[in-house]
Amino acid sequence: MNILFLDDCPQRTKFFRSNCPSAHCVETAKEVIDILSKDETIDALFLDHDLGGLTFVDSNRPDTGMEVVRWIISNHPNIKKIIVHSLNDEAAFEMITALKDAGYLTERVPFLRLNCDAITRLTTAS
């Protein structure tokens, strides 16, 4: 499984990695885009919206999960499933809508609901 996890919170990353040790965890939109640019298949991409320690950030900024969504829509990388785990409801809705409209299998699971069982389900089901 090729799993990519975007989140700027070290505690959330530690929790996720403890449940999915093979995941590639990154903190910035640029890092995700760099990985997606390599043209590898991603089995599950977990996206946060607000990065850099900020909350409720404008989605037009380039340092957000929405920047990754814009890049995905423009470049069409091979991603089997995208999970938006942002706690920013408005931004998460915007991200999911754009990704679904672009034809991506997308699900919203706020991080607070990403327990061990949910992570296992999301990273093993196709």
Classified by CATH at the fold level, domain 3-124 comes out as Rossmann fold (3.40.50)
Q: What is the mean pLDDT of residues 21-47?
A: 95
Render pLDDT for 45-55 as a digit per residue (tens, 0 to 9).
999 999 988 78
Residue ranges covered by each domain of the chain: 3-124
Indicate whether 30 pLDDT > 90.
Answer: yes
Amino acid 125: pLDDT: 58
- This prediction has a pTM of 0.91
Please report, rounded to a whole number, the percentage of residues in the chain having pLDDT higher than 90: 70
Question: Tell me: the pLDDT tens digits for 58-79?
Answer: 888 889 999 999 999 999 999 9
Contact 50, 9 (CB under 8 A): no
